[in-house]
Amino acid sequence: MRYYKAHGREEAVAYFSPAESVDGAWHVFVIGGNGRVIDHPDPEIIGQDLKGDMGVDSSGYRYGDLVLSATEAGTWVDYLSASNPTLDGSEEELKHTWDVRYDGVIIGSGWYE
């Protein structure tokens, strides 16, 4: 959030998009006002819609609705995910995200157990 506030949307997206921006188990993502991912270190996730299938984990839990309901005060969201950029995508792990609405987007920071 600090980087986004200091440098603006375009520079923050460019900074956090590359896989090199992942810090161990931590990474940042940005969701646009339309519910689509506009920034994520996994390029296959960019453009996906949290209101659609992407926002439902393998257990049927609709985590996307909670992420999209984030306010300026922020919200915690936990769900199963196979998109850990440090793994090959064949395993699911519990993912934790802190999501905050700011400047018309949702900025999230996520990590895996």
Spatial contact of 34 and 112, defined as CB atoms under 8 Å apart: no
Between CA 51 and CA 63 the distance in angstroms is 9
The pLDDT tens digits for 67-91 are 999 999 999 999 987 665 555 556 7
- Residue 47: which residues within 8 A CB-CB, separation 6 or more? 36, 37, 38
CATH topology of domain 2-112: Beta-Lactamase (3.30.450)
* Predicted structure pTM score: 0.78
Between CA 98 and CA 78 the distance in angstroms is 9
Spatial contact of 97 and 67, defined as CB atoms under 8 Å apart: yes
The pLDDT tens digits for 8-30 are 777 776 766 656 666 666 778 88
- Residue 31: which residues within 8 A CB-CB, separation 6 or more? 37, 38, 50, 67, 68, 99, 105, 106, 108
Domain residue spans in the chain?
2-112
Q: Give 24 or 99, the one with higher predicted confidence.
A: 99
